[in-house]
Each structure stands twice: as structure tokens, then as C-alpha cells.
Structure 1
Amino acid sequence: MVARLLRLRVALLGGSFRGSASRGARSALVFVVLAAVAVAVAAAPAMLIADGRALALVDVIVGSLILIAVCVVPFFENRRMLEPRQFAQYPTTPGAIGLSMLVTSFLTWPFFLLVLWLTVLGLTRTKWNGPVWVAALALVLAAVFALCAVRVTSGLAQLLVGDRYAGIVRTLGVVLLVAFVPVAVFAVTSAFTPAGLKAATDAAGVLSWTPFGAPFAAPDLAAQGDTAGAAMRLGVIALCAILFAALWLVLARAIATRVDYPRDQNIARTGLGWFERFPARPSQVIAARELTYWARDPRYKVALWAIPIAPILMLVAFWVAGVEPRMLALVPLPVILLLLGWSLHNDVAMDSTAIWTHVASGTRGSADRAGRLAPVLMIGVPLALIGSSITVTLLGDWRVLPAVIGLNVGVLLVSCGVSSVFSVLMPYPATRPGDSPFVQPQWSGSGSGMAQTLSMVVAILLSIPATWVAVSAIHDVTLTENLLALLVGLGSGVLVLVLGIFIGGKIFDRSGPELIAVTQVFD
């Protein structure tokens, strides 16, 4: 099996240059440029930084970021990765397939670039020459760990994501990359300040105990005479490489023996818009329909365009009141996310022409509640991540990024959870489909003001814990406080969201006929 895979991988290496002469030349040029970049990234710090301690700090941080990227990217982009399932018909066991794929994974162009970077890194760090075997062993273990980690992350993507959600996951990866770029640029520019240097030192200390930073910290510790510290770092990277290799063998067996449910060839797969991208399950079908509404219905578009107006007015009011301009950067994004999640508080009435299908078909209330969150979460989560990086850049301190993310994501999830309850607890008439979005129907029952006010007040009250901890962490900048703020924000948001889906689903199940009566009375 190993021999077959070796021949296949050699053929895949040469496949990059097959075709026309111009295609081969372009491929060769791309690889030459990537190799030059790898050499430059490895050699530039040694040429530009004379201080040994500063160079060691840069090596740990940069090396950790590169290894993290090597391990994470295959989860979002693995279209060119071989799968154990492709070799399931061979007369061998899934374990042998997984082991063969792991052993032959070094025959790939990305791995060659990684080895080139590690080789130049070892040759240009003269301080790592004593003892030499520590640096050599550390870099070899780094390459082995990257090999195993890539197989694990790509295997997880193949097992959990599959072809159906691959496009969504790739889009999410691009969003995360865009959100990370402003933070990375600001972190590099602020690392030369005293506060930034201290934060970078703390981060390098933490990363040196992870498999991403340990192989770059071990040679420096050995050069300083700290043999015990170097041995412990080497133990960390070796243990993690063994664990990831074992995990890959388990994943390979699961992927090779998994049987996907066959698709019905008589069912249309194209021309269905969002319904093509979601499986045929109640919550996912409702999510596809909601996304279609948000893309086509002018009522939702008007609401989206109106959401940014409130933060602008608040900024003007705070500026007139004399609030510090730097702190004003924190205001717009949480308010936008709060209003975005709150906009679902009457979604049942907005969906009045289709709500009866849920009741008639026996759709569970929790599926209805979860499906309706799809548009807001697909807009809000990327907005929270990208906006948080921009907010941190405006604040001038990238150390508060965890607190800002916890604040924004927490507010979004809390408001979504509250709206999931109020949209079935206190629905009120909304503009009918096809009418002007600025026309409000008359209603003799409880007015819309009560539902709007209560839902907004409850969302604000439940957002206080995440906001309080985040503001405290931003005011008193420490790593512990910021991580706590991130955990509190995400934890409270997820808790309220899950409870909102559960409670709203129970109310939906109990009062389905009443909801139909309320939503149809003005049609």
C-alpha cells in the first residue's frame, strides 16, 4: 500500500507541471516565489535583529503562527487532499490505509516548503549550534507534528464537513482571515512599544509550552544551558506528534468505513438557491427559506438598512457629552449586533404566510426557532469577528481582542436567544408580504410597543454580565482578565441562545394554533 501511494504522490507532484508550456512555467514560477518567501521568512529575522533575546522571542511567535496556520488551513481548504475513502476498495485494512497515507504525506509541495523554511531557520540561527542535536531534533519533530496535524485537521473536515458544507466552511475561513489581518498588522506595529513588548513576551512564554512554539523555544533554552527546560519542550512536541498520529489512525478508520446516505437522483439539485446548500431536515430547510426571505423580501432589507442609524446617533450624542474618543470605538458594533439579533423578535409575524405549514406538519418548535436564526448568525458572526479586529485597531491595543470578541459575540447570541422567545410569546401584526415595508397594519390586541420594549430590555439586561466583564478587562488589560471576558461572553451568549431556542420551542409547540390565528387575522 505504501508503494502504491508513493507512486501516486509522485504523479501528483508532477501533475502540477502537466499541460501547456505556459501552465508549467506558471506553476514553476509560483513554486520559486513561494520558496523565496519561505527562505526570506526564515532568514530575515536573523539579519534584522541583533539582540539574541529579541530574536528568540520573534522565532517563537512567528514559528508558532506558521505552524498554527499549517495545521488550521487544511480544515477550511482540503479539496486537493487524498481521502482514506478513496482507497477503501483496496484489499487492505483501514488502519493500513491510514498509516500508508501518513507515511507518504511528505511527498507534497507544501511539505517541501515547510522543510525548506525549517532548514533555513536552523542554518541561520548560529546561537542554536550548542548543542546542535537539540535544534536538529526540535525541527524534525516540528515537521513530523505538522505532518500529523495536517492529516488530522483534513480528516476532521472530511468527516464533519464533507462536500455539502465545504463551500460554507471555505467562506468562513476567508472571513476569519480577513478578521485576523488588521489585528496582525496592528500587533506587529505595536510590538516595538514597551506595552507591546511585554505582551509579546507573555505570549511567547505561553506558546513555548504548546506544540506550536515548543520546537523553537527548545534550542534557545539549550543554548542558555537550560537542558531541563529544553527537554521538557521536546517532550511536549514529541508527545503531541504521537497523539495526533494515533488520532489520525482513528479518523482514517472512521472515514474509510463511513457510508454516506445515497442521494435520490430524481430530486432536483440545481436551481433551488439556498435549499441546495442545506440538508433536507426541518431546521435546515427553515434556515434556507429564511435566507431566501432576507435576500428577496424588502421588509427585511429596510430593517437591515435602518440598523446602523442608531449607533451613529449614539456616537454623536456621546461625542457631544464629552466621552473619550478612544472609547467611542467600543459603542457601534455591540449596538449593531444587539439590534440585529433583536430584529427577530417578531419573525413569526413576518413569516405569516408559511407558519401554518410548520404547525400542520408537526415541525418541532425548537427546529423552527433554530432555523430562523440562520440569517442573523450568518451575518452577525462574521460581522462580530471582522468588526472586533477593526475595533481593536481603533482602540490601539490588540491585547484586548479576546474581551472585545467576547462582548460582541455575547451580545449577538443573547439578543438572538431573547428574540427566539418573544417572537412566539408576544407576536404582533407586521407588514404583509408584498406590501410597502413602511405600512403597519392595525391591530386591536396588545400593541407592538410592549413586545418591542420588553424584548429589548430583557436583551440588554442579559447582556450586562458579558459587557461588564469585557469593559473591566479592557480597562485593566491583563491576559487573564481578557480570557475570562472571552469565556464569559461566549458562555453567557451560548447559554441564553440554547435556553431561548428551548423555551421558545416549547411555547411554539403549545400555542401553534394561537400563533396561526394571530398571524393570519390581518392577512
Structure 2
Amino acid sequence: MAGVLSSEQTAVASAQHAGHGEIPTRAVIRLLMGLKWTLWKRSYRKNVGKIVGTVIGSLYALGGLVGLTFAFLGTTLWSGGGETFPLILRTLGVAAVLLWLLVPLLAFGVDDTLDARAFALLPRRARELQPGLFAAAALSLPSLFTLAAVAVATVFEAIWLLLLGPGPLWTVLALIALVPANLAGVVLCLLLPRAVFAHQAGRASSRSGRELGGILAMVVFLAVVYAFSVGMQSLGSLDLDQLLPTFLVAVDVLAWTPIGAPFAVPMDLAEGAVLVALGRAAVTAASIWLVWRWWRRSLDAAMTSALTGDASSGTAKVSALVPRWAPSTALGAVIGRSLRYWRRDTRYLAAISIYPVMFVFFGAMGFVLPESRSFMMIMVVAMGGLTGIAISNEIGFDGPAGWVNITAGAPARANLLGRVVAAAVIVLPIVLVLSAAVSVVLGMAAHLPVILLGMLGLVLSGWGASVLAGTLLPYPTSPPGTNPMKDKSASSANAMLSMAITSAAVGVPQIPAIGLAIWGLLGGGPLIELLAGLVAVLIGAVVLVVGLRLGAARLERSYPELFQKVRAFV
């Protein structure tokens, strides 16, 4: 990239008779737009999946434009009065800006094509690159479809103002402000993700910040999806007549924020609220200026961090490998190392960060739908039990670092048991506390013994199945510190077979305990429930002991061969 830019700069400077390093802003804009176009075209070479995805996405977008057109027709020309048209416009404006803001925050795995760090070695400041980067940002299918949707809305706004407007003066004022206000909304839509991407790039030199940011984005995304699902399920029990005033207040409040201010200005003028329109226009102008400045500072920070690299003060806290409460043996060393993995490795963090969201989701669904509380509690217990399979690919997670265990001669049993103990220290308290909280919220506190003991039994079964499956069917994974959503290892045959076996091994041995639990819950009484929980724990302990013994024998006998399967990251 740097070579292309340097040759282009030289050509432009020669044509303009400029000195060394000088380049007009228009030339930078043309150059970056051409670079964005070239990179966009090359991204489709031999990428059938992206081509198919783009075609499908474009068809959906075209269908959305058609649906939007008919919606506007129904609320303007076909409705006669068109009283709901201003409300619909304000709502769609809020949705558009909010969507553009949330995409870079929640769509982990989405990268900025023209990353600011790629320009770090060039003798250009953010002030010089910013106009070109903004113009290049508009050169994308989402930007073009957004512009098309705003154009359709602008046409129908003009039609509504001319045919159904409240008066000549307000109509003229609204028509004058219509195009500038809507264009300001489009500008804000494009600026927000640019600024967020640049801010994320500026922080990307910190590995811990990058990892935690990816995990947080994933958790927020799942929380938004589940919250939407819970909200849709609760609509049936809500009174729409009571909900509508709250919705109107929410739209009006958001219209005073950068999210909804731009597209609300023309309708405010049409309704005669001049002061309100001026206030929201000021909010829009201030928002664009502030986001532009934020983007510039983030670009400078990103380009600087790309040159300096990962900063390290050299004052990192050094702690003992073996925890104080663990034995000073090979088992303690494995426990300490595994605990560090759980705290620092993105793959482990991603594995445990999802479960709190799932527990809250099941609890919320049971609270919203009382008739489904029993089923949701069963899902909580099953989800808690499945946390045991989080260690089903421990050998694969070691990757090329597994040679240390071979050369150090670490005992196979200690190597596997230490990983189980570390998982128990990190995961088990979270699972038990959350499941107890959900059971109390759903009014099932009387069944806590069978719930907690049954979940503990399932977790023990999962650990036993995992340590065995991890030594029989290990598979390579993405390296530590990478985006967990970009891990392609799950598509391998070993991964699918391992997950299927371990998932089955969690529940199948527990069938006697499950039968006793059903008997107790259907009328057998608290003693039968307690017996079911104890049987579940006993079965889980047996599965764990057997899994450890067989897994240790397999690891002791075939560790070099297993290392060969996972020595490289995918």
C-alpha cells in the first residue's frame, strides 16, 4: 500500500509543480477512494462465500427499500391524513443512526478496510487523510443503500409537505431544511463508525485491551439479541394503548440526542416548532463537529500506536506459578498455569463470558412467561452442566506450547487433573450462584437441593468426558489473543465429533438421576429430590475418575502423536 501511495504522490506533485511531500486534498481523496475501490474488488476474488453473502444482502436491502416505499405510500398518499408520517420518520431516523453506531461496537470480526494504522509510515497527518477516508467510507454498499433509503424518505417528505403540509410558511421552511438535514443525518451515520473504528485501532496496540474489547463486544451483542427476544415475547402481555405514550416519549427524547436530531428537524419545522428545530439543528451540528474531532484524534493515536507497538512499562506484577493453596508439585504447577490461561486467554474468557448472559436470558424468559418457568429452569440446569465441556480441547488449546509438557515430563494425570481443578475454581462458583439466583427469581427455591446437586453432577460428568475426549480427538485452534469469533477450528471433523461425544457423555450417564429427579418433582417429595441430587453427584464423580484414568493412560502413551496434531494454530 505504501508503495502505491508514494508513486501516486510523486505523480501528483510533478503535475502540480509542488515541492517534495506536498499533495492537494482532492488528490488524496481520489487516491483513497481508488484504493478503497481496488481493495473492495480484490476482496471478492476467489471468495465465493462473500459473493453469495453480498448478493443475498443486496436482495434483502432492495426488498427493504421496496417495503419502505410502500410504507411511506401507506402513510402519505393512501392514508389521506398522514398524521403518523412524522412519527415514522423520526423513528426510522433514530433506527438508522443507532444501527450505524452499533455495527462497529457489536459486529466483532468486522474490520475497517482502510485501517488508520496502515498509513502510519506515510508523511501524512490525520488532518490530511481525514477527508479522503470519509469519502472512501461512502464507497460501500451499506452507505449506498442508506443514501438510497434517505433519498426515498426525502421524496416522500416533500410529497407530504406539499400535499398535506400544515401551512405555506411551515411547508417552505421545512422544504428548505429538508435536504441539508437529511444529508447531515447521512454524514453522521458515516462518521460514527469511522470514529469508533479509529478509536478501536488506537487501542489495538494493547493486547489486553483488544482481547477484552472483543469479549465485551460479543457479550453486548448477545445481550442485545436476547433482550430483543425477551421484549418480543413480552409484547403479547402488554397493553398497546399504555405502551404507545411511552414509545412517543422515548422517540421525542431520542430526537434531542445525536441519534435522532438530524432527521427530526424538517418535521419540527412542518409542525411550526421553530425553536425545537433550531435546537435540534444545533445538536446535529455540534455532534458532527465533535465526532469529526474525535475521529481525528483517534486517527492520530492509531497511527502513533502503530509505530510504537505494544507499550510495556516493565513493571508487570510477577506472581508465583503455584498458588498458595495448591500443593507444591506438578499438579500445583498445572493448576497455576491453567488459572493464568483462564484469566488471560481470550478463548477461555469467551467460553465463560457467555454463560452469565444465557442464565439471565432464561431467568428473564421464565419471569416474562410464567407458564414456561419449569422448562427455563431445566434449561438453566442443562446449560450449567454443559460448562464442563469447556475443557474438552485442552491439548488443542496448548498448541505449539505443548512441547513444554513433553520435555518437562509432566505426569499425565497431574496434567489433566490440574486443568479440571482450575476450571472448577473459575467456573463452578459462577454457575452455582447464578443457577441459585435464577431459581429464586422463578419461585423454585424449594427445589434448590436437586437443582444445585444435579448441576454439579452434570458438570462432573462433563469434566470426565472432556479430559478423555481431549486426549482422543484433539484439534488445533486459533492462537491466543485472536478474535474468538474468527476461530475456524469448529468446522473440523474432530471438533464436531468431540463436541458430540462430550455433550452426550454429560447427560447419558445421568439418566438414573434424571429419572429420580422427575419422580421427586412430580410428587415423590423432597427426600426423593435430594436422593436424585446425590445420585447425580455420585455418577458424575465416577465419570470423572474413569475419564481421568483413561485420559491419563492415553496421554502418557501418545502425547507426542497428539502434539503433532495440534502443534500449529489454524
TM-score (norm 1): 0.51
Partner of 1:194: 241
Q: 1:24/1:257 Cα in 2 relative to 1: closer, same or farther (>3 Å)? A: closer
Q: Distance in 1 between matches of 2:281 and 2:39?
A: 33
Deviates more, 1:165-174 or 1:66-75: 165-174
The residue that corresponds to 2:232 in the other structure is 185
Matched with 1:93 is: 125
| Distance in 2 of aligned mates of 1:148 and 1:252 | 13
**8 Å CA contact retained: 1:218, 1:233:** yes
SS at 1:181's partner residue?
A: helix
Work out whether residues 13 and 107 of structure 1, in 8 Å CA contact, stay in contact via their aligned partners in 2. no
Alignment of 1:135 onto 2:178: yes
CA contact (8 A) 1:182 1:393 kept: no
Q: Secondary structure at the match of 2:124?
A: coil
The answer on whether the counterparts of 1:60 and 1:207 sit within 8 Å (CA) in structure 2 is no
Change in 2 beyond 3 A, CA 1:388/1:25: same
Q: Kindly tell me: are residues 389 and 95 of structure 1, through their superposed partners in 2, closer, same or farther at Cα, counting changes over 3 Å?
A: farther
Q: How many residues align?
A: 328
- Whether contact under 8 Å (2:178, 2:266) holds in the other structure is yes
C-alpha spacing 1:60/1:357, structure 2 compared with 1 (3 Å):
same
Change (3 A) 1:89 1:194: same
Give the AA of the match of 1:204.
V
Is the Cα contact below 8 Å between 1:98 and 1:253 reproduced in 2?
Answer: no
Question: Which position in structure 1 is the counterpart of 2:409?
Answer: none
Shift in alpha-carbon separation, 1:116–1:359, aligned structure 2, 3 A: closer
**Relative to structure 1, is the Cα distance of residues 374 and 106 closer, same or farther in structure 2, using a 3 angstrom cutoff?**
closer
Q: Is residue 121 from structure 1 mapped to residue 153 from structure 2 by the alignment?
A: yes
The aligned amino acid for 2:72 is: A
- Segments of 5+ residues of structure 1 without an aligned counterpart are 264-279, 290-346, 397-431, 438-451, 465-523
| Counterpart Cα distance in 2 of 1:62 and 1:190 | 25
Matched, 1:390 2:365: yes
- Quote the offset at 1:45 in angstroms: 3.3
* Structure 1 residue aligned with 2:201: 158
**Preserved CA contact (<8 Å) 1:68 1:212:** yes
The CA distance in 1 between the partners of 2:367 and 2:182, in whole Å, is 34
Find the residue that maps to 1:231 and give its secondary structure: helix
Q: Which residue does the alignment assign to 1:39?
A: 65
- Distance change in 2, residues 1:4/1:220 (3 Å): same
The aligned residue for residue 175 of structure 1 is: 222
Counterpart for residue 453 of structure 2: none
Q: In structure 2, what is the equivalent of residue 206 of structure 1?
A: 253
User: 1:123–1:12: structure 2 CA closer, same or farther, 3 Å change rule?
Assistant: farther
What amino acid is aligned across from residue 199 of structure 1 in structure 2? T
Deviation at 1:43, TM superposition (A): 2.5
1:368-410 residue CA offsets vs partner (Å, 9 max, x unmatched): 99779968961444225534663575379xxxxxxxxxxxxxx
Larger radius of gyration: 2
Shift of 1:103: 3.6
SS at match of 2:84: helix
1:444-483 matches, cutoff 5 A: none
Alignment of 1:58-457 (within 5 A): 58-75=88-105, 76-77=107-108, 78-125=110-157, 126-129=159-162, 130=171, 131-161=174-204, 165=211, 168=215, 171-172=218-219, 174-183=221-230, 185-186=232-233, 193-258=240-305, 259=307, 261=309, 378-383=353-358, 386-387=361-362, 390=365, 393-394=368-369, 434=417
On the 8 A contact 1:176/1:382 being kept in 2, the answer is yes
> Residues of 2 paired with 1:2 and 1:135: CA distance?
27
* Partner SS, residue 116 of structure 1: helix
Rate the CA distance shift 1:32–1:104 in 2: closer, same or farther, 3 A: closer
Q: Could you say if the C-alpha distance between residues 260 and 249 of structure 1 is closer, same or farther in structure 2, counting changes exceeding 3 Å? A: same
Cα 1:11–1:384 change in 2 (3 A) is same
Q: Which runs of 5+ in 2 are unaligned?
A: 1-27, 163-170, 372-413, 421-428, 442-570
Q: Which residue identity does 2:71 align to in structure 1?
A: P
- String of CA shifts for 1:10-35, please: whole Å, max 9, x gaps: 22344465558x77974663354143
Shift of 1:5: 0.4
User: SS state of the match for residue 298, structure 2?
Assistant: helix
Distance 1:132 1:243, change over 3 A: same
Inter-partner Cα distance in structure 1 for 2:319 and 2:130: 33
Q: Is the 8 A contact 1:94 1:257 kept in 2?
A: no
Give RMSD over aligned pairs.
4.8
Letter in 2 for 1:68: L
Shift of 1:282: 6.9
Query: What is the alpha-carbon distance in structure 2 between the residues aligned to residue 256 and residue 368 of structure 1?
Result: 31
Q: Which one of the candidate residues 84, 104, 114 is aligned to 1:54? A: 84
Tell me which amino acid in the other structure corresponds to 1:91.
Answer: P
SS in 1 for 2:287: helix
Residue identity opposite 1:42 in structure 2: L
**Structure 1 residues 198 and 84: alpha-carbon distance in aligned structure 2, compared to 1, 3 A threshold:** same
**Are the structure 2 counterparts of residues 395 and 39 from structure 1 closer, same or farther at C-alpha, using a change threshold of 3 Å?**
farther
